[in-house]
Chain A
C-alpha cells in the first residue's frame, strides 16, 4: 500500500509511528462499530425467541422447541408463498429502478443549473414517507375519486382495479415502489457519474469512438461499483418492504402480496405469536445476509481489479 512508503516528518520514534499507523484504521472504524454493537443483544434475544413456541396470549404453551418453527415453515405453503413473493417483488422493483435510475442519471449528467434543479426535484418522491405516499396513492387509484383511475380510464382502462385485484396488485405496488425509490438510485449514480475521471472520455472523444462503445466499455464498468452499492441497498430494503404493501393491501388481496415483514407484523402485533414472528424474521435476515454476501464479494472483486489497473 503506497501510503506506507510515505515517510513522516516529526520527532515521533519509528516504532511508535508504525504502531500508530497500524492502529489508525481501527481507531477510525471502531467507534462506528461500537455504537452499533448494542443491536447484537436484541438480535440474539430474537434468535432465542425463534427457537420457542411462544404466544403471548397462550402463556401455558410457552416452551423451547428448538428448530420446530423452521421445520414447520418447510411444509407450510403460506411460507413458501411469502418467500417467492418477497423475492419476486424485491428483484423486479430493483431491476426496474436500476434501469430507470441509470437512464435518468445519464440524462441529467451534465451539470447545468436546469439539470441540477431537476435532479433535486426528482428526489421529492423519496422524501415523501412511504406510508403516507401509499395512502395518497390509494386515494389516487380509487375508482371514484382517484385522478389516476380517471386518467387511465381516459385511455381505455375503465375498470382498472389497481391494488384490489389479484391480477394487478403486484403491478400497482411495484409502481408505487418505483415511484418512491428510483430517485435513490438516480442520485447515487448521478453523483457517481459526475465523479468519474474525465480523461478516458476525452481520449475516446478524440479517437472518435462511437458512443455506445464508450457507454458499455468505459462508463458502465467504471460505474459498476456504484451500481452494485445502490442496488444492494435497494435490494435489502425492498425485500424487507413493509410500509407500502401494508398501507395499500395489508398483504392481500388474498395472500398475493404477503411479503415477509407484513406477515411478521401480523404474527407479532395482531396474533402475538412471538416465536413464529421471530423465526420468520430470522429467515429473512438469513436471506438478506446471503444475498448481500454475493453482492459485496462482487464489489470487492471489482475494487481489486480497479486497484490493480491503477
Chain B
C-alpha cells in the first residue's frame, strides 16, 4: 500500500477539480441556458443571474413551439424515442455479434483470424461520405429505405468494430488459467465463456458497450440520408430549433440536456460493471 502524503492528496483533489471544471463548465452553462429565454441568453455581457423559466422544456415535452412566425410543431419526443431505439438496438446486436468474435480472436489462433479481425476494423474507417450515396441507392433497391432495421444494420459499422477490438483487448488480458481450470473441471467452452470469461472482462465490455451506445446516439448522417422525417434521431431533430426567425438557443440547450439523460443514466448503471474487474482480481502468471 502506498503512503499518500497529505500534500499529495491536496494536489490530487485540486487537479481533479480543475479537470471537472474544464469538462463540466460548458455542460453547466448549457444547463443554465436551458432554463433561460432567448433574450436572456443573448445578453451583453453574459450573466449568471437570470430568471429561470421552464418554457423550453415545456415546448419540447408538449410539442408546440412559439416563434415570431407563429406556432410550430415540434417532434422532439419522437426524435428521442428514435435515438433510443436505434442506439439500443444497434448496441445489443453489436454485443451479440462482437463479444463472441472478440473472444475468438483473443483465445484462438486460427488462420485468417487476423485478417478477419482487421477487415472488421477496416469497416470503421470507411468514411461515411464515401459510401453514403451508393448506400442510398442500394437501400432503395433492397427496400430498406426508411426502416429501423436498415438503420440498425448500418449502425453496426459504427458499433461492431469498436466493441470487437476493445473487448478483444480485455479478453487477451484476462489470464486463460482460470478458464483452463474451469474446463478441466468438465465444463463446456460455452459455460466457461459465460461464467468466467465474460465476468472477468466485464469492465471492458461495459466500457465498449457504453461507448458504442454513445457513438450510435451521436450519429447524424446515416439516419438523415437513409430515413424519413419520422425516424430521425435527436441529433437531427435538435437542429429544428435553428429556425429562419432565429436560433432558439434555449430550446437547443434543453434538447441537449434531455438527449444526454438516457446516456447518462445508462452510464451510471454500467458504472458498477466498470469497476467489477478489480474485485475479482485477474491473476496473471
CB distance from A175 to the nearest CB of B (A): 10
CA distance A219 to B108 in the complex (A): 27
B263: chain A residues within 8 A (beta carbon): 123, 127
Residues of A with C-beta under 8 A to B122: 289, 292
Residue A89 interfacial (CB < 8 Å): no
Partner of A265, one of B129, B162, B169, B274: B129
Q: Is the CB of A179 within 8 A of B169?
A: no
| Pair A127/B98 contact, Cβ less than 8 Å | no
**Residue contact B278 to A111, C-beta cutoff 8 Å:** yes
Contacts of B198 in A (CB 8 A): none
Spot the interface stretch: A2-10, A64-72, A160-168.
A2-10
Q: Are A194 and B275 in contact (CB under 8 A)?
A: yes
Does residue B44 face the partner (Cβ distance < 8 Å to A)? yes
Q: Is B119 touching A124 in the complex (CB atoms < 8 A)?
A: no
Contacts of A3 in B (CB 8 A): 107-108, 176, 179-180, 183
Chain B contacts of A126 at CB under 8 A? 214
CB-CB under 8 A from B170, the residues of chain A are: 191-192, 195
Please measure, in the bound complex, the distance between the C-alpha atom of A124 and the C-alpha atom of B180, giving whole angstroms: 40
Contact residues in A for B107 (Cβ distance below 8 Å): 1, 3, 25
Query: Hey, which chain B residues are within 8 Å of A39, CB to CB?
Result: 123, 126, 131, 135, 157
Taking the complex as formed, is A102 at the interface, i.e. its CB lies under 8 A from any CB of chain B? no
CA distance in complex: A236, B22 (Å): 25
B interface footprint on A86-123 (CB within 8 Å = 1, 0 otherwise): 00000000000000000010011001000010111111
Q: Are the CB atoms of B204 and A137 closer together than 8 Å?
A: no
Task: State in angstroms the CA–CA spacing of A226 and B207 once bound together.
Answer: 12
A-side contacts of B201, CB under 8 Å: 195
Beta-carbon nearest neighbor of A176 in chain B: B26
Q: Are B104 and A28 in contact (CB under 8 A)?
A: yes
Whole-angstrom distance between the alpha carbons of A274 and B142 in the complex? 22
Residues of B within 8 A of A243 (CB): 220
- How many angstroms from the CA of A39 to the CA of B134 in the assembled complex? 10
Q: Which of B83-132 contact A (CB under 8 A)?
A: 93, 97-98, 100-101, 103-105, 107-110, 112-114, 116-131
Taking CB atoms, residues of chain A closer than 8 Å to B110 are 22, 25-26
Question: Residues 30-49 of chain A: 1 if any B CB is under 8 Å from the residue's CB, otherwise 0?
Answer: 11110110110111011001
B233: min CB distance to chain A, Å: 9
Name the A residues within 8 Å of B186 (CB-CB). 9
- Give per-residue flags for A217-238: 1 if the beta carbon is below 8 A from chain B beta carbons, else 0: 0000000011001001100100
Contact between chains at B23 and A122 (CB < 8 Å): yes
Query: How many angstroms between the C-alpha atoms of A260 and B126 in the bound complex?
Result: 13
Contact of B125 among A122, A123, A278, A289 (CB under 8 A): A289
Known: A42-B138, A125-B27, A229-B166. A25 touches B121 (CB 8 A): no
A22 to chain B, nearest CB (A): 7
Q: Is the CB of B119 within 8 A of A33?
A: yes
| Cα of A161 to Cα of B29 in the assembled complex, Å | 20
**Complex contact B134–A145 (CB within 8 A):** no
Residues of chain A lying within 8 A (CB to CB) of residue B239 = 131
Q: Contact between B218 and A129 (Cβ–Cβ < 8 Å)? A: yes
Within 8 Å by CB of B253, from A136, A288, A289, lies A136
Q: Does B58 contact A (CB under 8 A)?
A: no
Check A310–B284 contact: CB distance below 8 A: yes
Q: Within the complex, what minimum Cβ distance (angstroms) separates A296 from chain B?
A: 6
Which residue of B has the minimal Cβ distance to A4?
B108
Show the binding face of A for B, using Cβ within 8 Å: 1-3, 6-9, 22, 24-26, 28-33, 35-36, 38-39, 41-43, 45-46, 49, 104, 107-108, 111, 116, 118-133, 135-137, 139-140, 144-147, 150, 179, 182-184, 187-188, 190-192, 194-199, 205, 211, 225-226, 229, 232-233, 236, 240, 242-243, 260-261, 264-265, 268, 274, 277-278, 281-282, 284-285, 288-289, 292-293, 296, 300, 303, 306, 310
Give 23 pairs: A residue, B residue, CB < 8 Å, sorted on A: A2-B180, A24-B108, A35-B156, A42-B137, A107-B16, A107-B19, A116-B275, A127-B214, A128-B30, A129-B238, A130-B218, A136-B26, A139-B249, A145-B46, A187-B211, A191-B206, A191-B207, A195-B204, A229-B166, A242-B128, A285-B125, A285-B126, A296-B121
Please provide the 8 A-B residue pairs with the shortest distance between their CB atoms, ordered closest to farther. Answer: A42-B134, A281-B130, A45-B134, A28-B104, A25-B108, A25-B104, A29-B101, A288-B125
**Interface residues of B, Cβ cutoff 8 Å to A:** 1-2, 12, 15-16, 19-20, 22-24, 26-27, 29-30, 41-46, 93, 97-98, 100-101, 103-105, 107-110, 112-114, 116-131, 133-135, 137-138, 153, 156-157, 160, 162, 164-166, 169-170, 172-176, 179-180, 183-184, 186, 189, 201, 203-204, 206-207, 210-211, 214, 217-218, 220-221, 234-235, 238-239, 242, 249, 252-253, 255-256, 259-260, 263-264, 267-268, 271, 274-275, 277-278, 281-285
- Knowing that A122-B24, A274-B133 touch, tell me 4 more A-B residue pairs with CB under 8 angstroms: A25-B110, A29-B100, A127-B264, A285-B127
